[in-house]
Chains A and B, each alone.
Chain A
Amino acid sequence: MSYTTEINRRLDWVKQRATAAPVSIVLITVGVLLAFSPVGIVYPDFLLPAVDLGILTALYGLVILGVNLQVGHTGLINFGPHLFFGVGAYTMAMMASSGSFAGVTFGLPIPVGLVAAVVLSSAVGLLLGSTSLQLRDDYLAIVTLAGAEIFIRLINGVQPIFGGQTGIQNIPQPIGAVAASYKTGLTATLLIFSGILVAAYAVVTKLTDAPYGRVLRAIRADNDGARSIGKKVGRYKLVVFVLGAALAGFAGAMVPLYNGSIAPTFTTITLTVTIWIGMLMGGAGNNRAVIGGLLIIMGIRLFTRFMNTYSPVGGGFFAPLRLMLIGIVLWAVIYYKPEGIWGDPDRLGEVFTRK
């Protein structure tokens, strides 16, 4: 028996067992154990931005799964995931914070905050979805975007309630509180959030592989056709829209829990643009591909963050260059590979190209 077949055999053994459920359980268990262990992990400081951005990537991963369900599978153009992310984040922050510099806080336990965050973001999704999902693609895009802008104006403008530019502080950090050191806490957070992402991936894939997912893609391909074979198209669209909103709201609710505070900068349109770039770059309509695309765009962001720290030009020049880079990457993806790196051009034709 040759050496390579032996390796392949072992790889297959690993592949069979390393499915989403055990991987997610292992990641979360290791993360929780690490958080409670008295061990202080040591790694060089320059890796901190990578871990930090990794945490954000895991949370964006939850958002992108939801948006992909809406856009990639069902063809609902949602330009406002940062609205639902923001609703989740602010609900959690205001519920859990025990006294902030500005804004209303309730000092409730975290689980209450989490439930409230998911319920409220779903409710906003339900409100927006039940009223606007019958609109044409481009109008739906504008409504979702306008809805998100209203929310941002609201949290920026009504300082007595939402804390304005300063945001909400003093939010309990459950992982940071028990961990032996800052770096250990951050690493444990990354592991736990990645585990949650893998679990969410498994659930969403289960849904999209099921006949349910086929109905969604039928709606994307031909709205009236799906209706004519007796599918309740409006119901499906609404459920998917609310599901995506809930996922984004859950992801948003995680931010204050590791960050300790929340401010309007976490819910800007750049979040939505990052999500869209990741989705298109990977391949809309394919759950694994969109997470791959997200990893690439977040990798680019990490690279530019390092460049910013170590390059000779000042931040005043570098910050706009980074924004320009986002624009150029987005444009290039649309021009060169709108179906994405791992996407299937035939499956995407209906939504993104001229019929």
Chain B
Amino acid sequence: MVSPVQSLLFSLEFGSFIAIAALSFSVIYRVVGMINFAHGEWLTIGGYLGVLIAGQVGSILAIPIVIITSGLVGYGLARTFYRPLRRSGAGPIMLMLGSIAVGYVLRGAFRIVFSSEPRTVILPTQVYRFDAFGGFFVNSTQLLVIGMAVLVIASVHLMFKRTDVGIAMRATGSDEDLAEVCGVDTSSIRRNTWLAMSGVAGLAGFLIAASTNVFPLMGMEYLLLLIAAAILGGIGSAYGAIAGAYIIGGAVTLTTSYLPSTFTTLGTGVAFLILIVVLLIRPSGIADVEVAT
């Protein structure tokens, strides 16, 4: 039996993956107005780039390179696959279907290029053990994951509240035409959003690959979790998504560690159950965004 503090630590770590991923998903939804069902694959891209890059340059230096490269790759994909659809007049549902299509293409490509074997980013890891609170341990990777989550959340917060780009992003998300009339270059805002948030999603993938491993279907496993977190928080609300992520992370970790081992796959099922219940009781989520017609 794991001690409660240990469970809490695992929940924090798992919640941090989801928080970073859900934040990027939510900001893209808010600004660009698109539910990206291939967002899980955006994580996988970061994981694989991490495997490739960390092998070359070492661990800590790899993080900024992974963020930049996965930002470029994610933006390239959005430009190649999503922009033509949007320009041809596809509505939100069609864009959603388009992203499902992109997910299929990317998962197939991962399997061909990297094979189905799980890969991992090898980081030098230090383990710290404590005897307090029934005994628990922390390793440096977990600290890195939690630290990066705090850093990302703080940067996105500052960008949204303090910088002109952030304000322009919020304006584009609220009313694109009005923003354009006010002199906001909305197409460059879209580009920057995809660049930055694909980078953030890539970072989440990198951290997952460092903490566990990366495989072609990894993104699929996280997709509904991060959607659940985003909806729980009120989709399009960055802060809600973060709160939602830690709730989902806690729920999944706790069910997995306290249920008999035959039922471990139900851990994520619990997250989806939370998602549905939230949509039924309070579809606007914690942060109260209007969604029902």
Query: Footprint of B on A, CB under 8 Å?
Result: 77, 131-132, 134-139, 141-143, 145-147, 149-150, 153-154, 156-160, 223, 273, 276, 280, 316-317, 319-324, 326-328, 330-331, 334-335, 338, 351-355
B259 (CB) vs chain A CBs: closest residue: A157
- From 263 to 293 in chain B, residues with beta carbon under 8 angstroms from any chain A beta carbon are 263-266, 268-269, 272-273, 275-276, 279-280, 283, 291-293
Residues of B within 8 A of A323 (CB): 104, 107-108, 111
> For the complex, is B233 an interface residue (Cβ under 8 Å from A)?
no
Judge whether B269 and A157 touch: CB under 8 Å.
yes
Given the interface pairs A273-B104, A320-B111, A353-B91, the reply to whether A334 lies near B263 with Cβ below 8 Å is: no
A338 to B264, CA, bound (A): 40
Residues of A within 8 A of B231 (CB): 139, 142
A132 to B231, CA, bound (A): 14
> For the complex, is B105 an interface residue (Cβ under 8 Å from A)?
yes
A-B contact count (CB 8 A): 148
Taking A145-B224, A352-B93 as given, write out 10 further A-B residue pairs in contact, using a Cβ cutoff of 8 Å, ordered by the A residue number: A132-B280, A136-B291, A136-B292, A138-B92, A273-B104, A317-B112, A320-B107, A323-B111, A334-B85, A354-B91
Judge whether B93 and A137 touch: CB under 8 Å.
yes
Judge whether B89 and A354 touch: CB under 8 Å.
yes
Residues of B within 8 A of A138 (CB): 35, 92-93, 96
A128 (CB) vs chain B CBs: closest residue: B276
Query: Footprint of A on B, CB under 8 Å?
Result: 35, 81, 84-85, 88-94, 96-98, 100-105, 107-109, 111-112, 115, 216, 224, 227-228, 231, 262-266, 268-269, 272-273, 275-276, 279-280, 283, 291-293
Judge whether A330 and B91 touch: CB under 8 Å.
no
A146 to B232, CA, bound (A): 13
A229 to B41, CA, bound (A): 46
Judge whether B105 and A135 touch: CB under 8 Å.
no
Residues of A within 8 A of B216 (CB): 320
Judge whether A331 and B81 touch: CB under 8 Å.
yes
What is the CB-to-nearest-CB distance from B62 to chain A, in angstroms, rounded to a whole number? Answer: 27
Given the interface pairs A141-B93, A276-B97, A334-B90, the reply to whether A134 lies near B262 with Cβ below 8 Å is: no
A332 (CB) vs chain B CBs: closest residue: B101
Q: In the complex, which of the residues A154, A158, A335 has the most CB atoms of chain B within 10 Å of its own CB atom?
A: A335
Residues of A within 8 A of B111 (CB): 319-320, 323
Residues of A within 8 A of B293 (CB): 134-136, 223
Which one of B101, B228, B272, B276 lies within 8 Å of A330 (CB-CB)? B101
In order of increasing CB-CB distance, the 7 nearest A-B pairs are A327-B104, A324-B108, A157-B265, A153-B269, A330-B101, A320-B111, A327-B105
Judge whether A141 and B268 touch: CB under 8 Å.
no
A137 to B97, CA, bound (A): 13
Given the interface pairs A327-B104, A330-B101, A330-B104, the reply to whether A335 lies near B85 with Cβ below 8 Å is: yes
SS class, residues of chain B in contact with chain A:
helix
A228 to B103, CA, bound (A): 41
Residues of A within 8 A of B88 (CB): 335, 338
What is the CB-to-nearest-CB distance from B266 to chain A, in angstroms, rounded to a whole number? Answer: 5
Judge whether A335 and B84 touch: CB under 8 Å.
yes
B264 (CB) vs chain A CBs: closest residue: A157
B35 (CB) vs chain A CBs: closest residue: A138
What is the CB-to-nearest-CB distance from A276 to chain B, in angstroms, rounded to a whole number? Answer: 6
A328 to B100, CA, bound (A): 10
Residues of A within 8 A of B85 (CB): 331, 334-335
Judge whether A324 and B224 touch: CB under 8 Å.
no
Residues of B within 8 A of A327 (CB): 100-105, 108
Residues of B within 8 A of A137 (CB): 92-93
B89 (CB) vs chain A CBs: closest residue: A353
A150 to B268, CA, bound (A): 8
Judge whether A354 and B90 touch: CB under 8 Å.
yes
Given the interface pairs A139-B279, A320-B112, A335-B84, the reply to whether A77 lies near B93 with Cβ below 8 Å is: yes
What is the CB-to-nearest-CB distance from B227 to chain A, in angstroms, rounded to a whole number? Answer: 6
What is the CB-to-nearest-CB distance from B115 to chain A, in angstroms, rounded to a whole number? Answer: 8
Judge whether A143 and B108 touch: CB under 8 Å.
no
A276 to B100, CA, bound (A): 11
Judge whether B292 and A352 touch: CB under 8 Å.
no
What are 22 inter-chain pairs, A to B, with CB distance below 8 A? A131-B280, A134-B292, A134-B293, A135-B283, A136-B293, A146-B276, A147-B276, A150-B273, A153-B268, A153-B272, A154-B266, A157-B266, A159-B262, A323-B108, A327-B102, A330-B100, A331-B81, A334-B98, A334-B101, A338-B88, A353-B89, A354-B89
Judge whether B104 and A324 touch: CB under 8 Å.
yes
A22 to B236, CA, bound (A): 54
Judge whether B104 and A326 touch: CB under 8 Å.
yes
A147 to B275, CA, bound (A): 9
Which one of A141, A143, A157, A321 lies within 8 Å of B112 (CB-CB)? A321
Q: In the complex, which of the residues B85, B216, B280 has the most CB atoms of chain A within 10 Å of its own CB atom?
A: B280
Q: In the complex, which of the residues B81, B90, B101, B291 has the most CB atoms of chain A within 10 Å of its own CB atom?
A: B101
A193 to B250, CA, bound (A): 47
What is the CB-to-nearest-CB distance from A69 to chain B, in angstroms, rounded to a whole number? Answer: 17
A354 to B91, CA, bound (A): 4
A149 to B280, CA, bound (A): 17
B81 (CB) vs chain A CBs: closest residue: A331
A353 to B224, CA, bound (A): 25
What is the CB-to-nearest-CB distance from B2 to chain A, in angstroms, rounded to a whole number? Answer: 20
A280 to B90, CA, bound (A): 13
Which one of B93, B104, B275, B291 lies within 8 Å of A351 (CB-CB)? B93
A273 to B291, CA, bound (A): 25
Which one of A146, A276, A331, A334 lies within 8 Å of B228 (CB-CB)? A146
What is the CB-to-nearest-CB distance from A72 to chain B, in angstroms, rounded to a whole number? Answer: 12
